[in-house]
Amino acid sequence: MGKTLELTDATFDQTINSEKPVLVDFWAEWCGPCKMIGPVVEELASDYDGKAVVAKLNVDENPQVTARFGVRSIPTLLVFKNGQVVDKQVGAVPKSVLAQKLQAQVV
């Protein structure tokens, strides 16, 4: 069963430089919409286990990566492929929207 990875400024680059698509949820403990979308992100980790990497990055604890990608509103979800941003979603959305973005990058 897939599980979301907790990323940090230190582990971020190593994780996104993957041949598999990587969905990163930029979130914070105090963010209401982040809490709403959290279970959806967990489900995607299970649904795409072995096909994609699903990760979370706490913006309060990891300001370097947050600033590097210009994340100002949370939740922001970025989809990476081979280390490059290939898709972006700002705000809480239904699971189907995120699944489509991830599925589009799965080979």
User: Hey, what are 45's tokens?
Assistant: 């980790």
End-to-end CA distance of the chain: 20
Q: Of 31, 41, 44, 55, which one is the catalytic site residue?
A: 31
34 is catalytic: yes
Q: Of 7, 24, 34, 98, which one is the catalytic site residue?
A: 34
75 is catalytic: no
Catalytic residue positions?
31, 34
